[in-house]
Amino acid sequence: MDGFQELHGRARVFLERSTLWCGSIILMNQGALKWMGDHLTISYTDKRSIDHFFKTSRGYRVMYNDLEKKSAFITGAGLPTGIGFAIARSLAESGMDIILADLPDLPYQDQKRPIDQCCAILEKDFGVRTLAVDLDITSAENIRHAVEAVKSFTPTLHALINNAGTNMGAALIGDYDPELWEKVLGVNLLGPFRLVNAMLPLMQKGSSIVNLASRAGKRPLPTCSAYSTSKAGLIMLTKCIAVEYAPRGIRANAICPGQILTEMNLRRYDRDAATQKTTREDVMNRAIQTVPLGRIGLPDDVARVVAFLVSEASGYMTGQALNVTGGQLMEL
């Protein structure tokens, strides 16, 4: 078996055993395999992350029985390569019915939209009910339609996961386009507020809200002031929800991911490589050096924490902002 065939076969084993679906970025020594259906392309990443999943994913699943037949709404979950869909899989493993929401105009080549493909995978793999919702979280009208769609799907919503986010523009504050700055806050902070505001009437005692913030919300990223500010605001919004709705038994927590291998981070690595006149490989290697656990995280690393926060296993936790950074950020 030549090297390519070995890589090909090992990746298939990985896909069968991990909570990532085809389309996810899989880490190998000289490159990452990006699966889009049956098509394979090569890009760079690091061997340690896939080794980590080969060691931990075989037979390793945490199932939360209290989540069975309950419903979760996840934004930014319309593509199989990101954190949103990894969260969906993690919750579906525990038997949750899943509502996937994402922008209506995401690019796709087949006749079947990626978000519909994601729903089909969840139904096939876990036997859960699913619903795909077109949602621009900056649009009040879109959010109203989403609420009506949820009402037609389930009488109550157990989990609301605000995962959608963006990072537009990269400049020093004095050079930052104010319109782009506003747009970032509109998606990352005002959007989650609007959605929580609209969905709270569907939530009841025992329900949980999880907001995907960022390490940047605690330690600012240079040239990313809009992103850092929006995520810091999202952490505070989470704490406000926790304080105000604890008497109703509704919990709210945030997750602050660090270096997670998503398309948004890959674009940032490429941007940094262009600025520094180096390669993506070099940028990623230097990033890995700052992570005590010695690897870049995968969407599944975040998804497992979300499942914990949604379940009763975390029933005495609210108002927290948990770091999922491989030790890169250890402050509260």
Token pair in block for residue 133:
């919702």
Token pair in block for residue 174:
């004095």
CB 126 within 8 A of CB 188: no
Q: Strand pairing partners for 323? A: 256
Smallest CA-to-CA distance from 33 within 87, 86, 81 is with 81
CA distances from 166 to 68, 135, 141, 179, 189 (A): 31, 14, 20, 14, 10
Options 44, 108, 176, 227, the catalytic residue = 227
Q: Return d(Cα 44, Cα 27) in angstroms, integer.
A: 8
Task: Clarify whether 227 is annotated catalytic.
Answer: yes
CB atoms near residue 331 (< 10 Å)? 6
DSSP structure class, residue 36: E
Q: Return d(Cα 282, Cα 276) in angstroms, integer.
A: 10
Helix-strand-coil split of the chain, %, nearest 5: 50, 15, 35
Q: What per-residue string of b and e applies to 306-329 under the rule 16 or more CB within 10 Å gives b?
A: bbbbbbeebeeebbbbbbbbbebb
Stretch (H or E) spanning 296: none
Query: 30: which residues sit within 8 A by CB, 6+ positions away?
Result: 44
Strand order across the beta sheet in which 97-102 lies: 130-134, 97-102, 71-75, 159-162, 208-212, 251-257, 321-324
Active site residues per annotation: 227
